[in-house]
Amino acid sequence: MADTTSKRRVGIYPGTFDPLTNGHVDIILRGARLFDRILVAILVNAGKQPMFDTAERVAMVREVFREYPNVEVDTFDGLLVDYARQKRATAIVRGIRAVSDFEYEFQMAGMNTRLNPRIETLFLMASERNQFIASRFVKEIARLGGDISSFVPAAVNRRVRRKFSEM
Ligand code: PNS
């Protein structure tokens, strides 16, 4: 029987994080209180053209959480359930905003459960102030010269601005 009393409960928080937003930060901090370790797992091969390459996205998360020893950063490729099994994760953590995310998340959790019923998906409701934040919009606002400082951590804002000044 599985050990359900282990003190080393690992939560995996997977995503694209292109870039990390305050919404992600909030879920990671809440996850860090629920699990012994929270593993931020950045998808390598997203099939889309990211603004930040994998190494940059890893560096961003590391910079923001450098004072949180139980927040770790890793990358993964392939199936999330396989990665979660390899890492002996207790659960996959996903944040969910109002109704907009529900269908996609419901489907993904269902498919993942079918692939591996032993891996739970745990949903955390996005905090009220982060309900509308999305990486996609953050990138668009930044590209069009808008102020993203209330949507992302300062370290991410600096990197986004640097990225646009390089372009
Ligand atoms: O931040 P995102 O883009 O919403 O994260 C999506 C992510 C990375 C969680 C999802 O695309 C994923 O798990 N991809 C890995 C491949 C996989 O397991 N696909 C089957 C999902 S049912």
* Residue 159: strand pairing partners: none
**Least confident residue range of 7-11, 75-79, 119-123:** 7-11
Among 13, 16, 93, the mutation site with the greatest number of ligand 1 atoms within 8 A of its Cβ is: 16
How many beta carbons lie within 10 A of that of residue 88, not counting itself? 11
> 80 alpha carbon to ligand 1 midpoint, in Å?
7
Residue 4 confidence (pLDDT): 54
pLDDT class of 37 with cuts at 50, 70, 90 = very high
- Whether residue 19 is preceded by a cis peptide bond, meaning omega within 30 degrees of 0, is yes
Alpha-carbon distance of 132 to 33, in angstroms, equals 23
For residue 24, pLDDT over 90 is answered with yes
Specify the residue for token string 């905090």.
127
> What is the overall mean pLDDT for the chain?
93
Alpha-carbon distance of 134 to 21, in angstroms, equals 7
Q: What are the φ/ψ torsions at residue 40 (nearest 5 degrees)? A: -80, 115
pTM over 0.85: yes
**Closest ligand 1 atom to the C-alpha of 111?**
22
